[in-house]
């Protein structure tokens, strides 16, 4: 293993009582070594804009080691110490001092994670329900629930047309209300309803419990991107309100770019923005079989179905299935 060099001045050390390390080693030589992990909470490093020539995968690997440290409360080495030689497994495959992790860190299975937003990170039902109620009441409906069934049918059909590439998300904005007005006794203006709904969608809906904690961990282990079929105004308002922007190196919203999942173009744009990561270590995570799973599979990347609200069997061709977001942690580490 290579040398560890100092990455902070005396003054900085005083501000950061934890040792602050910089590792100079080829990626394939990095190993989990228990006590010689890095306590590196400098956001600059984690986000890959350190001044040295480390690459994102390397900093992610270091972060994985940090996770092990935090979990097991191992004492870090002091400034100036050297990382000890890589321990070798004994006959049982156990490596002394490695906290049970016997695999080189370089073997992390996924280093780029593409996330869907609605019904994967954010409670889309709550968001949509509140927005619908708000919109209908402003249009004079005494009981918005009366209009829910036809709305759901219309909305579902329109989003299927988006996935088929026949219309864009922005077309859905007022068209769903034009069709709802035509199909019911509602008397209102579809443009105004579209505006109200967009406002309501952006202003309502929370993250599923545990999402922030999981994103905090994942962002230290991998590059994250958001690939969402939605209206830009809605998604941007939610991302800002929920403070999600900071996790993603690319945020690609179909309503802004004019192409949608499951087509390949939106993935082309995402990969371009991320600097063309390796497809072999990229994972698409989402709740939708027709957009997220089909999109990932068509593009030649691995897929993880977030099936928290589905009891369907996992269709062939899907690589992973989870029912809680934190199940991603061992999956991307390849544990």
Q: How far is CA 313 from CA 85, 307, 320, in A?
A: 46, 10, 12
Sequence-distant (6+) residues with CB within 8 A of 62 are 23, 30, 37, 38, 40, 45
Minimum Å gap between C-beta 235 and Mg ion is 11
Tell me the three-class secondary structure of 162-192, residue by residue.
HHCCCCCHHHHHHHHHHHHHHHCCCCCCHHH
What are the percentages of helix, strand and coil residues in the chain, rounded to 5?
50, 10, 40
| Dihedral of alpha carbons 235, 237, 238, 244, sign | positive
Q: Which positions touch Mg ion (CB under 5 A)?
A: 116, 118-119, 287-288
| Nearer CB in complex with Mg ion: 118/249 | 118
Of 37 and 289, nearer to Mg ion (C-beta) is 289
Radius of gyration (Cα) for the chain, nearest Å? 23
Q: Alpha-carbon distance 73 to 70, whole Å?
A: 5
Question: Two tokens at 209?
Answer: 């419990």
**What is the smallest separation between the CB atom of 28 and Mg ion, expressed in angstroms?**
36
Nearer to Mg ion, 208 or 271 (CB): 208
Q: Which is nearer to Mg ion, 168 or 228 (CB)?
A: 228
Q: How far apart are the C-alpha atoms of 24 and 103, rounded to whole Å?
A: 19
Q: Which is nearer to Mg ion, 78 or 309 (CB)?
A: 309
Q: Which of 118, 249, 292, 319 is catalytic?
A: 118
Is 81 designated active site?
Answer: no
Q: Which residues of 135-151 are buried (b: 16+ CB within 10 A; e: fewer)?
A: bbebbebeebeebeeeb
Q: Of 320, 122, 326, which is closest to residue 226 (Cα–Cα)?
A: 122
Beta strands in the chain (DSSP E): 4-6, 21-23, 112-115, 223-228, 250-253, 282-286, 302-306, 320-322
118 among known catalytic residues: yes
Residue 78 CA: distances (Å) to CA of 11, 14, 39, 84, 306: 16, 14, 11, 13, 41
**Minimum distance from residue 309 beta carbon to Mg ion (Å):** 11
- Nearest distance, CB of residue 209 and Mg ion, angstroms: 17
Residue (39 or 261) nearer to Mg ion, CB = 261
Question: Cis peptide before 262, with omega less than 30 degrees from 0?
Answer: yes
Q: Of the listed 40, 45, 58, 116, which one is catalytic?
A: 116
Nearer to Mg ion, 4 or 283 (CB): 283
Which positions are catalytic?
116, 118
């Amino acid at each position: 293993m290579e040398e560890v060099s100092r990455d902070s001045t005396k003054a900085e050390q005083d501000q950061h009582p934890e040792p602050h390390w910089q590792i100079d080693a080829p990626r394939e030589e990095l190993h989990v070594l228990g006590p010689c992990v890095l306590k590196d909470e400098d956001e600059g490093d984690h986000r890959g804009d350190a001044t040295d020539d480390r690459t994102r995968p390397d900093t992610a690997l270091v972060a994985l080691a940090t996770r092990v440290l935090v979990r097991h409360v191992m004492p870090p080495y002091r400034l100036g110490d050297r990382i000890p030689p890589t321990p070798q497994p004994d006959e049982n495959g156990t490596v002394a001092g490695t906290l049970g992790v016997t695999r080189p860190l370089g073997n992390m299975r996924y280093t780029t994670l593409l996330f869907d937003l609605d019904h994967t990170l954010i409670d889309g039902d709550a968001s949509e329900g509140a927005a619908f109620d708000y919109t209908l009441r402003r249009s004079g409906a005494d009981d918005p629930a009366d209009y829910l069934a036809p709305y759901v049918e219309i909305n579902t059909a329109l989003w299927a047309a988006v996935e088929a590439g026949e219309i864009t998300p922005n077309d859905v904005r007022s068209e769903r209300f034009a069709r709802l007005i035509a199909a019911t006794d509602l008397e209102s203006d579809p443009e105004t309803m579209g505006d109200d709904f967009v406002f309501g969608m952006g202003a309502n809906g929370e993250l599923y419990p545990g999402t922030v904690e999981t994103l905090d961990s994942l962002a230290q282990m991998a590059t994250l991107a958001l690939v969402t079929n939605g209206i830009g105004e809605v998604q941007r308002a939610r991302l800002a309100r929920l403070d999600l922007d900071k996790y993603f190196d690319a945020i690609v919203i179909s309503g802004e770019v004019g192409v949608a999942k499951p087509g390949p173009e939106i993935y082309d744009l995402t990969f371009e923005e991320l600097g063309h990561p390796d497809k072999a270590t990229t994972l698409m995570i989402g709740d939708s079989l027709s957009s997220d799973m089909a999109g990932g599979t068509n593009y030649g990347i691995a897929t993880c179905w977030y099936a928290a609200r589905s009891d369907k069997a996992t269709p062939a061709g899907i690589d992973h299935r989870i029912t809680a977001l934190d199940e991603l942690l061992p999956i991307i580490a390849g544990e």
